[in-house]
Each structure stands twice: as structure tokens, then as C-alpha cells.
């Protein structure tokens, strides 16, 4: 699997900070592009973790996510291992708006700015309480993604409400509506959702302490994680 340069690059050490998301991104993209062909067997877990420079627990989370999304298949037994699915999700069944990358950029600008202002002002404790209530809803087992997503939207709009600025609230509402359309086209593995909600919890803690820079750092990593998951799991037709 190391013969071709492009394939070899897949198994270079993953950079820190967003190792889980970047691993999903890298392997999912390689499968989508055909660099890892249907039926191809991944290296053993210990070897693959060493090649990527990540912990085995992080690797397991990424592999489980890709199994749940249909990109990989995990087989037990003497001839078992982790294999690329014979029929990975390569073709888009929906249409992705042509300006989806601009939507992601706008989301970064609006949300990071809102986090900074919310931490500086802390003018609405009720908004922060509502954000924590939304986190509680997202902690429950996800049987219906739409329920999770509604709580997710409430969380992010709550961040805008914590700024006390109506225009930012309106812009956040618009961004969340556009993101729902984009996010609806990808898989939603439980591990990804749990990881995302852990970051929600950290963001609220930073805002409550008035640490805007820390809130922005966590939020930017949170949004980058979504971008990585989109890049790794979006069907080929949608990612062009």
C-alpha cells in the first residue's frame, strides 16, 4: 500500500490538534478518490496507528466512524481486519449548493466573532444556560439526527444571543439554516456527534470564564472538525 506516492501520503503521520477529524478526512477522501480501492485491507491497527502518529484509541474512533458511514468494513476472525467497503458511498444522492465552501467560511467568521464577544460581555446568563440545556439534549443517545441537529442549532444560536447583538443573532440563524442543508448530505456516526458535543461543553466553559481567546480556539477546532468530516465523508459528486 506504500508503492504509490499518493497512497503513501495517506499513511504519513497525522498532525496534532485535530487528529480524529483529520484521520477521518484523510482515509475517507482516499477511499472516495479510489486511492484505497474497494476490498483493500488497511494495515493492522498497531502498525497503522504508528504510521499515522496517533494513539490507537484515536485510530479506533476514526475507523469506527468510517465503518458506520459505510466507507470501511470490519471483519473478525483469522482472516479478518479492516477493509475498504466493496460499495463505499461515492455517488451523491443529493445536490450540494455550489457556494458551500463560502458558507463554511462565513460560519467561521460569524461564530468565532460571536464567541469572542460573548466571552467579553457575558451579558446573557440565560443564553449560556440554554446552551448547556442544548448540550444535555445532545448527550442523549441519537435515535433521530434531526432531534440532535435542532439542539445543535439552539446551541449555536445561543452563542450569538450571549453577545446581546440582534444583528449577530440574525446572521447566526441564517448561517445555521445554510449549514443544516449541507450537513444533511453526510453520515452522522455517533462518535462524531459525541466528540462534537464535548467541544460544545468546552466552549460554554470558556465563555463563562470570560476567556474569549480560549473559546475561539476551541470553536475554530470544532468548525475545522466539521470541515474535515465533510471533506472525508461527502460523496464524490458533492465534493467537487
Torsion of CA 98, 104, 109, 111, to 10 degrees: 130
Distance of alpha carbon 44 from alpha carbon 47, whole angstroms: 5
Residue 45 contacts residue 39 (beta carbons within 8 Å): no
Residues of the chain with CATH 1.20.120.530: 100-239
| Residues forming a β-bridge with 84 | 72
Show pLDDT as tens, one digit a residue, over the chain (240 residues). Answer: 444 445 665 677 776 557 888 888 888 878 876 778 889 999 999 999 999 999 999 899 899 989 988 899 999 877 789 999 988 776 445 567 788 889 999 999 999 999 999 999 987 899 999 999 999 999 988 888 888 998 999 999 999 999 999 999 989 988 988 888 888 777 788 888 888 999 999 999 999 999 999 999 999 999 998 888 777 776 655 554
Residues 6+ apart with CB under 8 A from 44: 81
pLDDT, residue 15, reads 60
| pLDDT score, position 84 | 93
Q: From the options 1.20.120.530, 3.40.50.300, 2.60.40.420, 3.10.20.30, give the CATH code of 100-239.
A: 1.20.120.530
In 85-140, the DSSP E strands lie at: none
Choosing among 1.10.287.130, 2.30.38.10, 1.10.10.10, 1.10.3720.10, the CATH entry for 5-84 is 1.10.10.10
97-105 own/partner pairs: CB under 8 Å, 24+ apart: 97/178, 97/181, 97/182, 100/182, 103/175, 103/178, 103/179, 103/182, 104/182, 104/223, 104/226, 104/227, 104/230
Taking the whole predicted model, whether its pTM rises above 0.85 is answered as no
| Max Cα–Cα distance, the chain, nearest Å | 61
Q: How many CB atoms lie within 10 A of CB 166?
A: 10
Pairing status of strand 81-84 against strand 72-75: antiparallel
| The pLDDT value given to residue 163 | 94
Q: How far is CA 147 from the centre of its chain?
A: 17
- Give residue 9's pLDDT: 59
In which residue ranges of the chain is CATH 1.10.10.10 found?
5-84
CB neighbour list of residue 211: distance below 8 Å, 6 or more residues apart: 119
8 A C-beta contact, residue 155 and residue 134: yes
Amino acid at each position: 500500500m506504500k508503492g504509490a506516492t499518493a497512497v503513501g501520503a495517506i499513511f504519513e503521520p497525522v498532525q496534532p490538534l485535530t487528529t480524529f477529524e483529520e484521520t477521518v478526512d484523510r482515509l475517507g477522501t482516499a477511499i472516495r478518490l479510489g486511492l484505497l480501492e474497494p476490498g483493500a485491507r488497511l494495515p493492522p491497527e498497531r502498525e497503522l496507528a504508528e504510521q499515522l502518529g496517533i494513539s490507537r484509541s484515536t485510530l479506533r474512533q476514526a475507523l469506527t466512524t468510517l465503518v458506520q458511514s459505510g466507507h470501511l468494513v470490519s471483519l473478525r476472525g483469522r482472516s479478518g481486519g479492516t477493509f475498504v467497503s466493496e460499495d463505499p458511498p461515492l455517488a451523491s444522492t443529493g445536490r450540494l449548493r455550489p457556494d458551500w465552501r463560502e458558507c463554511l467560511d462565513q460560519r467561521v467568521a460569524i461564530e468565532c466573532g460571536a464567541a469572542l464577544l460573548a466571552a467579553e460581555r457575558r451579558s446573557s446568563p440565560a443564553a449560556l444556560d440554554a446552551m448547556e440545556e442544548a448540550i444535555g439534549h445532545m448527550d442523549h443517545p441519537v435515535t433521530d439526527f434531526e432531534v440532535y441537529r435542532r439542539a445543535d442549532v439552539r446551541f449555536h444560536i445561543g452563542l450569538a444571543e450571549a453577545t446581546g447583538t440582534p444583528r449577530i443573532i440574525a446572521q447566526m440563524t441564517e448561517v445555521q439554516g445554510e449549514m443544516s442543508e449541507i450537513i444533511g448530505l453526510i453520515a452522522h456516526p455517533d462518535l462524531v456527534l459525541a466528540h462534537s458535543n464535548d467541544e460544545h461543553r468546552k466552549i460554554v466553559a470558556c465563555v463563562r470564564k470570560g476567556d474569549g481567546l480560549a473559546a475561539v480556539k476551541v470553536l475554530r477546532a470544532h468548525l475545522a472538525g466539521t470541515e474535515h468530516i465533510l471533506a472525508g465523508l461527502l460523496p464524490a459528486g458533492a465534493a467537487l
